[in-house]
Every structure is written in structure tokens, then in C-alpha cells.
Structure 1
């Protein structure tokens, strides 16, 4: 892995990506090119990261589809701005295109989910706001999470929507006027016209501009429909369409803001100041002014403001805000703590290890916001579909208005009215909003429960997994060896004395198995530090020896004691029995006799069996454990947790090869590991899942999904959330198109009215938004 990182890494942009399967094939083809050590396609961002040396021509030849175009991504100066007023994904796309055309701007990328725009190049806020594709757009420089803490001043509802409320009042007066006079009069006309102009001013401003540019979107459709209704004398219905469209946009904005709030609320988890001890004095310091090495004092019941390491005290800390763990964790000296977690019991003194912008919670917020910019395949489909859908609706509306009067001698007024109704019902609001709200809601919900999903594409892929491969150490098991068996082979010996002798020898060894024995002695409060060991020698690959009280003792593998001819058939049988249980056996004694047998094992996580059972119940076809451990140990652990298949004694390259084979045979495959040793296999899988993302920068950076707590219990929840998100997105798209088709069929008998059209549109938008927001409430 280190060699790979030392190679040249180049990022290329790829034009022509439309199929996730083709993207996967392209990645595999590139990996086989001479000079390429590794490659990773980012389908959502239309990029490929190449580790090694190759050319653009070779990359294009490796393409798995026609019209593929590749060019190196040039490093650019980037500035990020927050955008207030984003409610329409289509408008966000237009805004992005407009910004790209500004002088001095080389590129721009809108993150609709996070309500941000990244600008590469030089421009001003005034120029950005002028480039806006809608009214009420406000651009401000993005600030680090530490500074985005001030709650925005709440604007009263009547002030926020005063034009809308005034327009509704005018419409009501218009209807009253028409009923009193029993016929249309100048006052009634003026009231309805005023409602149209006041309520639809911002709509008309953008719609007419788009019409002049022949840039057809939902605002163009609505502008033409409302102006047309006014021209043919349907002022009342035109005014109502204006109001209902404004209400529809307000609902979209509310739904999107609600979904975004699930991410922004993470910013309020950590305190904005902390009690710091400097030069012998304690003082309250703002988190942005706290430096690495400062000592932070956290009292019981207070939240921890910064990441750090405990230097004094012990306590129980609730880490649910970061890892999603429901059970608080004990913390003592040298343990790591995270900003935003709650100190429940003791006083803690913590040495700061990260600046506020580098804390785990800050990275989570940043990565989740970036994740929302990664478009899921379904979102890419909707965006592409909407691009052609709106002009087609314009053509259909024109045909509805013109063909019946010309060909079938229909009434011009009636069919123009029908054509205008088609424009209204064809508005793609519900379709365009269907996917982004779902993606943002699901990713935000997952983040709050300790699962970091780094893009809509990975959210969707999690629901389609056919196989999941697990690393053993630290994933299926705890990664910390413990003594499971301690047996005296001579009943006359003193157990405490024998264990103290073993601990006195093993404390001098750096082997992980040795630390397990020392820990057992300490847990039983057995004193070993006063035992004098001389002539200590490490016997490489076998064990250790040392002299205590004039006697030379050995502790090590059974192979060591075979040399002394001390292993009879009964002892060998017992050793094999323990090894078949997945345990490593060590013997203690001297050259004359065996004194004790110790078995050490890496304990299986309590949750592993239940998680594997849940995955099989969810329909995951195959679960595989990939490990470098010996076959007997691996198979024993595999049987204990109920895993489908075990592959043992593997090198990292063997794991990589097996993942590639699994993808070819089965399809969608996830690999779960620690994000470091398993990096090649993680990169080759459909979805790479890292264990213990909290506090592990590598896991946060390399994996597609990070389980922030160091256990697997969130995995079934993530798959269920992904599948529910997929179902909701598919339902939303089907419903949005279905309701429009149903309304359009009403054109045939001439029953479609502007009322029905706008209610179909606003109703679909409301139902789709509410359906998407259900993902914020999905529970484990």
C-alpha cells in the first residue's frame, strides 16, 4: 500500500458516463493497463483517479462505451459559497451554468443538497448573485463548521410570504366582486390582474428571460400558461395558478430546507467554547482560539468541545452523537475523546490533539455535505430526463392548442385553454425534487446514527449488494487477543505463582499474545514485577526463555516443546482440540516437564453472529471472511458467526484478487475492513466499508461508507435504509410521471382545466416531498 501511495496519482474528468455498469468495466480495464497500479472511478462526479503512469489516449481506448472523452483535471483555486434560496434543482443547474460563463471563472460546481457552490477562479459575490436563475438568491462565503453556529433570525410568516398573502387577498376580493356584480367588471379585472402581477412578478421575470433565450424550464411553462390564460380572458384561473405555483415552490423550499437541517443540526453538537488551562490559569476560550497541546477541563454533565486525549481522570462518555453507539464508553488516561460527545460522570483533563476545523465532527459535516453533491444514478437519470421532458411538453401543448381547431374545426378558445392546461400539468416540479430530498434525508439520517455514506451512488449501491466480504481481525473479531484457557498440567503447583512467572517472562516481549497474558495477571491482581528474570532470550518464531530462581523456564508454541520430547498423545490431542476452536496454544515449563497450558484467542464481537444472521435474512446471497490467519482458526470463527465461506492465509493481493473474482461472478460486492490494510480490496469492491471511522482519518478518507462505531451493528440498518431510499425514489418518479400522464389523458375528452392541472402539480410535489422526508425517520 505504501508503494502505491508513492506512485504518481492523477485525476481525470470523464465525459460520457451514463451507466454505472460501464463505469465499473472502465475502471477494471484501466487497472489492467501497463504502468497502472490502481484506479478508482467516481461515477457520481464523472472522474477517475489513476495511480501510476498512462496517457489520455490509452485511457480512452480502455473505455467500455462509445463517445468517451477524458482530460486531466487541472488544479484550480477553489472558493466555496453558501447559497440561500435554493429550492429548485433545475434552477440550481442553471445557476451553475451561468456561473461557469462569468469572466475569470474556470469551473463551478453546485451542491444542491448542501446549498453550496464551489467556484474555481476569480469572481465577486455581486457577479454570482447576478448570475442567479431565480429571485431572492443570496450568496455568502462559506465558513468552517465552527463559525456556522449563529441561528438565523426567524422571519415571521406574514413577512416572509407577504406578496403571496396579499395576492390571495386580492383574489378573494376579485371573487367577491364578481359575485356581487354577477358579471365581469373593471374592478374584478383589476383585482385579478393585480394578483397575477404581484404574486407572479418574480416568476415572470425569470420566465420571460428564459423564453427570450429559448431556455425552457418549469418557470417558462408557467409564465406562458398564465399569460395565455390572461389573454383568453381566464383571469381568475390565471391568478389562482400563480398563487398555487407560489405555494408549490414554498413547499419545495420548506421540504429541502427540512432535509438540509438534518445535516446542519450536526454543527450544533459541539460547544463553541471550552475551559482551558494555560500558564496555570483556567479560562473560557472560543474553540477557534484553542491550540493543539492545550489542556481542556471537562466537568461531569458537560459536552466535550474538542478532540483530544485524556491526560488525567476517568469517566463514562456518551459517544452517540459521533458513533451512534447507544451504550456509553468508559474513558481513562490515554484514551481518545471526540468533540460533541457528553462527559457523564468524572472530571476529565484532555490534551487537545486537533484544531477545531480538523475534529471528527467537522470532518463528518464536511464529508456529508460533499456526499450530497455526488449524484446517484437515479438522480442523473431524472436530470437527463427533465432536460428533454420540458421542451417536449411545450411541443405537446402547442399541438393540443393548434391541431384540433385546424384539423377538426374545434373551438380555438377551448383548445388554447386545453393547451395552456397541458403546460401547467407538465411542470416537472415533483419529478425534479423527487430524488434530491430522498438522498439528503437518507444521508443525514445515516450520519446521525453513526454511518457516513459518502454519496448518493453508494447509498443506492448498498441496497443492491449481492455479497459482502469481511476482514477478520478487528471486524468480525475485536482485534484484541485475550486468554481463554489457563490450565495447570500438574495439580500440585500453585496457580498464582505459575501465572506470575509467565507474566514476568511475557512482560519483556512485545508480542500481542504476550500482552494478553500480562493483562490476565493484572486482572487477577497477581504481582509479577518483583520477580527477577535473568538470561532472558527471545526464541524467534517459537517463544521466549528466562531464568527465575536458578531454573530456566520456557513459554512458547508446542513446536518449542516438541524439541524437549515432552508432548504425549493426550496433550497433543488437547492442543489440536483448542486450535480447532480458533485458539492459539502456548505451553509453559522447563526442559524436564510441562507446567501449564495457555490458550489465547481474538474474541468474536458479540454482535457478529446477529449481524450475519440479519444480513442473510435481508437476502445477501453470500458472506465471506477474508483473513491472513491460519485456516483452522479462521474456519472456527466462521462457524461461530455463521458466515457462508472462509478464505484464510491470504496476502493483501490475494484479497484483492478474490474481490475481483467475486464481482465478476456475483455482481455488487461490499468489502468491510479497517480502511488501511484492506485498502486494495476496499477500492476494488462496489462499496468499500471502513470500520471505526471515528478518530481514524484513513477510514474516513478511503472508504465509500464508514461505520463510525467500531462494530458491525449498523450494517443491516444501512442496507435497509438504502433499500427504502431506492423504493421511495422509484415510487416518487413513477408517481410524478403517472399523475401527469393521467391528467394529460383528460385532454382527450376536453376535461382538463387549469384548476385540475395546478392541483395535480402541487399535489404531486407535496406528496413526493412528504414521502421523501420519511427517510429522516427510519429507525434501526
Structure 2
């Protein structure tokens, strides 16, 4: 809901309660006609948004709904001259709707808060001079100047300067991130330290801001099974309540049980207490509050459907690089058997500069002072990158090549020492390797321990060798390891676990792990919002925190628990009120208070998830 609409709805609801309180306080001074007019105005102000919503939903779904029931019940109260009860009924119903809209607004705000921070204008570096242009006019390849204290207008790469960037509006982390030439920056983030120049690499429609907006839209469309069931239930239950109300109005007088007036009164009470207001509000506010809570922690969840699945997870498959480890490996050695080591380093540098693999960046950093040469390359996910130079085919990665016994023994020793190796081959023969070392993420051991406490089995799944994988797994506290896997192997393991009856979460970097992420019951991408992760994964950890796995599972379980509490409570209240009405115990004022009060309690219970 737009901010202005929420403000108007709040104003109308407040006006309704002011009119009710004024009329009740000065009731002795007002005649019945004046009271009817004031309560009637309260009815109009309080019921406007709900009546509008009910009409739109009725037209869209071609079925009556709970809003329709409440309007009819309030009109019935007015017919019985119970003006105060009718006005209060509509007010409390409007208040419960306002609280639900508040939860929706909080959820949307948590996702899209950076929109207000993204500037409308940018300073373009135009042939060495500054030119102010609209952000919408920027093109890929333009260079923009971002001064200290200014927001970055578009996704791009730093081409001049170094600074600290506040990315809290995207990642939820308030500690600024140091950035230098070659690093990526996102639109809407804030430059805090020094002037930089950024080359625009994405059109605004493909920017991080737009990706998050798309996430919001998907999140609100992906309803949980409970929400979908309740929506279907509401559609049919409304007719049951109307039928029950009509039966209460006309059958008892036929058999002499009640007078016509008493039967009509009880029929109106049925419309009030039998309405599924609290039941309808049992799940959606809980889901929206959970989504909002998660997004503030840097956890973007693509809808309540995935939250509900999260609560059932019993196995978590974890990629190694960038998930269990920092994903910032350092090159310790480049070993090769060829004499011209410098020439080979030029080839490696030229190829790795064109690679998207996380290890490639470490190699490029290590060889940053190497002379550049041009090589046409092609990259194979899960294997590596290759290109031809001076008539020879060079491959960097894990390709099928001929390995000498001497090199095999040396590589095995490197693996046993805990190094990750990237092979270097020439014309199908292994001629060397790159040895790298990555560090385990902080708090990984605590996160793994917490998963075990929740009876969730953690499994390390990596393309790395068994020695390195085993060493990392032991340090992290993971007992089960799957190593030396290609992307298709990871997919097979995900599907195998699902077939065995497990509900599987896959956590990866969102690029090489895309097939496994898509196949898992819940796919989680680590990494600050890469294109593939935002498109493929069901959940994205924008701040890369491994402990978010436990936070998201815990939040999902809390959401499920609170939704169940709400459903049981609302059904119990409706049942007791209907029975009390049959026995002639409950009067319309009490019916309004207990029934609509239960709706507000259900929503307030759900809003607790905003601060869990």
C-alpha cells in the first residue's frame, strides 16, 4: 500500500473513533437522530476502505468475502437501532485492517528503503568536465563522479580512487566497506570517504535497486500453502455464514423457539461472530512481519512460500568457497615445469582476467604487475577457462589432461597441506598448478553447531579436492563431506537427498551452484546480490553472514508457530461465540468486542515477528 493511502486510511479510522467517543461521552445531551447521524458518519469513515476493498475483491474473485459480511452485519445493527454497536464493529474491523496494512507497508519498506536514497541526478565526467544529468539518461560505459556524502547513482565499477562505501541499505551491515579501483558498487549506496569515479556497467532496469523491487513483487505473490488454503476457505465459508444467519432469522420463529425480533437479532449476531476475520488474518501478517524482519538483517526471502518450507528443513548442503570460507583466497605459489615462467604468467593473467570464478580474482591480484597480452577465451562452468596463444591451447582449471607422476605427487602433497590447486595445462598436458589458501568464515563453527541443535544435518559440498574439503569441514565441525564435484554432480546429490525424503536447503554462490540452487527445496545464495543469485535463489544473504542460515530457519519456525497459534485461537473464539449465540448468552455488543477483539489480538501477535 502506498504511503499516502495508509495515511488517509489512518486518518479516516482515527476520525471514526473520535466520532464514536464524542457521541458516547455526550450521549445524554444528544437526541436519537443526532446519535444515529454521528454513528452513521463514523460507519462511513471507518468502513470506506474496507467496503472499497470488499467490492474490488468481489469483482475480481466473483465471490463474496469477509468485508461484505462485516458491512452487512453493521447495517443489520443499524436496522436494529444498535447504532453504537454497528459503528464500533466497523471501527474495530477497520483498525484490524489498518494493522494488517501496516505490516504490509513495513515489509515493503524494508525491501525498498534504498529507493529514497538513490539520487535522481548524477555528475557525469564529460570530456574532463562535470555535467549534471538525470540518472535515467545514463548509459552503460558512462563515467560518473561521486563526491563524499553522495549516493551512487548506478551500478558500476570504480575506475578512479578508493573510498569506504556504506552498503547498509542493501546488506544490513552498518560497517562501511573499503572499495578500490576494479571493485563493484551498487546504486543507492553511500560514498563516505573520498571522491571516486565509477564506470556504469548496468542499465537502471537491471540494477540492484530494480532487482530488489522485483524481489518484493515476487515475495508478495508467493503465498504460503496456509494462506492459499485460508483464501479458498474464506470464499466458501462466507456463504456458510450467510446461510446460517438466514436460517437463524427464519427457522426458530417457524418452530416457536424465538420471536421474529429475537431471531433477526440472533441472525445479525451470527454474521458478526461467525465471520472468519481473525482466521483470515492469522497467516498473512505473520508472513509479512517475518519477511520485513529478515530483510532488515540482510536476508531477502522471495515470498512466504519459501519461509514455510524453511521451517521443515532437515538437511543443509553448503558450498565451500564463499559460503563456509571467506571466498577471498590468496595465491601462495605458481609452480610450473616450463622454462619460460614469465611468459606462462602472462598467459595465466590474460585468461584469469576474463574469468568469473572466485579463485580467478585471487590469481589476477597475485599477478597484477604482469605485462598484459590479448587472448580470446572461453569459460566452461565447473571446469575453467581456456584460450589459444601462439598456436598452443592453454587451459586453467580442472580439465581432462595428461598428468605426469611427478606433478601428481606434488599436487597431492599440496592438497594434504590444505591448499586448493588450479591446474595449468598446455596442449592437453599438465605443466603446473596454482596453490591457493582460503580462510574459514568467522562464526561458522557456531552456526554449524546451532544447525545440529535444530536437528538439521549440515553437509559440505564442493568441487575442491578431498583433502582440502576434509580439512575445512573438520575446522567447521561438519561430519559429512562431498568433494571433487562438478555442478551437475551437486545437482544429483540435491535430487538424491530429496528422493530420500529430506527437505533440502542448498547454500551456494549463485553462479556455479545455480542448478543445485534451483533444484533444492530452498535455494540460498551467498554474495552481495549477484544477478544470478537474485534470479535463481529463493533467498539471498546480502551481507554474506553464514549465521543467517540459523536466523532464517529460526524465524521460519517462529512464523509457523505464531500462525498456528492464531489459527487455533481464531477458530476457538468463533466456535465459542456461535455456541453462546445459540444458547442466547452473547449479545451483539459482546459479540462485536470478542470477535473483532480476537482479530486485533491475532494481528498484534503476528506483529511480534517484526522484532524477533
Indicate whether the TM-score tops 0.5: yes
Q: CA deviation at 1:663?
A: 0.7
Partner in structure 2 of residue 200 of structure 1: 43
**Please, which moves more after superposition, 685-694 or 437-446?**
437-446
**In 2, Cα distance between the equivalents of 1:768 and 1:375?**
19
**Please, which moves more after superposition, 437-446 or 503-512?**
503-512
Q: CA deviation at 1:660?
A: 1.3
Query: CA separation of 1:257/1:508 partners in 2, compared to 1, >3 Å: closer, same or farther?
Result: closer
> Is 2:506 the partner of 1:671?
yes
Q: CA deviation at 1:416?
A: 2.7
User: In structure 2, which of residues 228, 237, 240 is the aligned counterpart of residue 392 of structure 1?
Assistant: 240
Partner in structure 2 of residue 164 of structure 1: 16
Q: CA deviation at 1:509?
A: 5.0
Q: CA deviation at 1:465?
A: 0.7
Q: CA deviation at 1:502?
A: 11
Structure 1: where are the runs of 5+ without partners?
A: 1-82, 85-150, 179-186, 488-500, 530-535, 544-555, 563-571, 587-596
Q: CA deviation at 1:697?
A: 1.2
After TM superposition, the structure 1 = structure 2 runs for residues 615-626 of structure 1, keeping only pairs within 5 Å, are 615-620=451-456, 622-626=457-461
Partner in structure 2 of residue 466 of structure 1: 314
**In 2, Cα distance between the equivalents of 1:743 and 1:581?**
71
User: In structure 2, which of residues 216, 227, 238 is the aligned counterpart of residue 368 of structure 1?
Assistant: 216
Partner in structure 2 of residue 52 of structure 1: none
Q: CA deviation at 1:296?
A: 1.8
- Partner SS for 1:604: coil
Q: CA deviation at 1:338?
A: 0.8
Q: CA deviation at 1:584?
A: 5.1
User: In structure 2, which of residues 524, 539, 547 is the aligned counterpart of residue 705 of structure 1?
Assistant: 539
> Is 2:258 the partner of 1:410?
yes
- Partner SS for 2:283: helix
Query: CA separation of 1:218/1:174 partners in 2, compared to 1, >3 Å: closer, same or farther?
Result: farther
**In 1, Cα distance between the equivalents of 2:70 and 2:11?**
25
CA contact (8 A) 2:111 2:213 kept: yes
Q: CA deviation at 1:480?
A: 4.5
**Please, which moves more after superposition, 393-402 or 665-674?**
393-402
> Is 2:72 the partner of 1:224?
yes
Q: CA deviation at 1:467?
A: 0.5
Q: CA deviation at 1:159?
A: 6.2
Partner in structure 1 of residue 419 of structure 2: 583
After TM superposition, the structure 1 = structure 2 runs for residues 107-256 of structure 1, keeping only pairs within 5 Å, are 152=4, 160=12, 164=16, 167-168=19-20, 171-172=23-24, 175-177=27-29, 187-188=31-32, 190-201=33-44, 215-256=63-104
**In 2, Cα distance between the equivalents of 1:431 and 1:730?**
10
Cα offsets for 1:257-300 (capped at 9, x unmatched): 44443344332132232322223321333322223222222223
> Is 2:180 the partner of 1:346?
no
Q: CA deviation at 1:209?
A: 11
Partner in structure 1 of residue 599 of structure 2: 765
**In 1, Cα distance between the equivalents of 2:421 and 2:20?**
82
CA contact (8 A) 2:459 2:482 kept: yes
Query: CA separation of 1:767/1:258 partners in 2, compared to 1, >3 Å: closer, same or farther?
Result: farther
Partner in structure 1 of residue 611 of structure 2: 777
Partner in structure 1 of residue 133 of structure 2: 285
After TM superposition, the structure 1 = structure 2 runs for residues 193-592 of structure 1, keeping only pairs within 5 Å, are 193-201=36-44, 215-407=63-255, 409-483=257-331, 504=342, 507-508=345-346, 510=348, 559-560=405-406, 579-583=415-419
TM-score w.r.t. structure 2 length?
0.80
Q: CA deviation at 1:156?
A: 8.2
CA contact (8 A) 1:450 1:708 kept: yes
Query: CA separation of 1:196/1:645 partners in 2, compared to 1, >3 Å: closer, same or farther?
Result: same
Query: CA separation of 1:381/1:633 partners in 2, compared to 1, >3 Å: closer, same or farther?
Result: same
Partner in structure 2 of residue 632 of structure 1: 467
- Partner SS for 1:769: helix
CA contact (8 A) 2:147 2:195 kept: yes
Q: CA deviation at 1:252?
A: 4.2
Query: CA separation of 1:748/1:442 partners in 2, compared to 1, >3 Å: closer, same or farther?
Result: same
CA contact (8 A) 1:390 1:427 kept: yes
Q: CA deviation at 1:348?
A: 1.0
Cα offsets for 1:307-343 (capped at 9, x unmatched): 1111110112222221233443221111111112222
CA contact (8 A) 2:415 2:465 kept: no
Cα offsets for 1:491-515 (capped at 9, x unmatched): xxxxxxxxxx998576345187898
**In 2, Cα distance between the equivalents of 1:157 and 1:388?**
28
**In 1, Cα distance between the equivalents of 2:58 and 2:9?**
32
Query: CA separation of 1:616/1:509 partners in 2, compared to 1, >3 Å: closer, same or farther?
Result: farther
User: In structure 2, which of residues 433, 441, 463 is the aligned counterpart of residue 605 of structure 1?
Assistant: 441
Query: CA separation of 1:636/1:226 partners in 2, compared to 1, >3 Å: closer, same or farther?
Result: closer
- Partner SS for 1:468: strand
- Partner SS for 2:85: helix
**In 2, Cα distance between the equivalents of 1:249 and 1:686?**
33
CA contact (8 A) 1:466 1:666 kept: no
TM-score w.r.t. structure 1 length?
0.64
CA contact (8 A) 2:20 2:84 kept: no
Partner in structure 2 of residue 742 of structure 1: 576
Partner in structure 2 of residue 661 of structure 1: 496
Cα offsets for 1:411-448 (capped at 9, x unmatched): 44334322211211223233223322222232233233
Query: CA separation of 1:607/1:585 partners in 2, compared to 1, >3 Å: closer, same or farther?
Result: same
CA contact (8 A) 2:43 2:86 kept: no
Query: CA separation of 1:368/1:163 partners in 2, compared to 1, >3 Å: closer, same or farther?
Result: closer
**Please, which moves more after superposition, 605-614 or 748-757?**
605-614
Q: CA deviation at 1:581?
A: 4.2
**Please, which moves more after superposition, 601-610 or 712-721?**
601-610
**In 1, Cα distance between the equivalents of 2:454 and 2:238?**
39
CA contact (8 A) 2:249 2:263 kept: yes
**In 2, Cα distance between the equivalents of 1:162 and 1:707?**
39
**In 1, Cα distance between the equivalents of 2:22 and 2:477?**
69
The structure with the largest alpha-carbon Rg is 1
**In 2, Cα distance between the equivalents of 1:652 and 1:514?**
18
**In 1, Cα distance between the equivalents of 2:307 and 2:98?**
28
Aligned length: 566
> Is 2:592 the partner of 1:753?
no
Q: CA deviation at 1:585?
A: 7.8
Query: CA separation of 1:753/1:380 partners in 2, compared to 1, >3 Å: closer, same or farther?
Result: same
CA contact (8 A) 2:348 2:396 kept: no
Q: CA deviation at 1:537?
A: 13
Q: Higher relative contact order at CA 8 Å, sep ≥6: structure 1 or structure 2?
A: 2
- Partner SS for 1:643: coil
Cα offsets for 1:579-626 (capped at 9, x unmatched): 33432589xxxxxxxxxx996434333343333223222331x22222
**In 1, Cα distance between the equivalents of 2:138 and 2:307?**
36
C-alpha RMSD over aligned residues: 4.1
Q: CA deviation at 1:360?
A: 0.5
CA contact (8 A) 1:174 1:192 kept: no
**In 2, Cα distance between the equivalents of 1:153 and 1:227?**
25
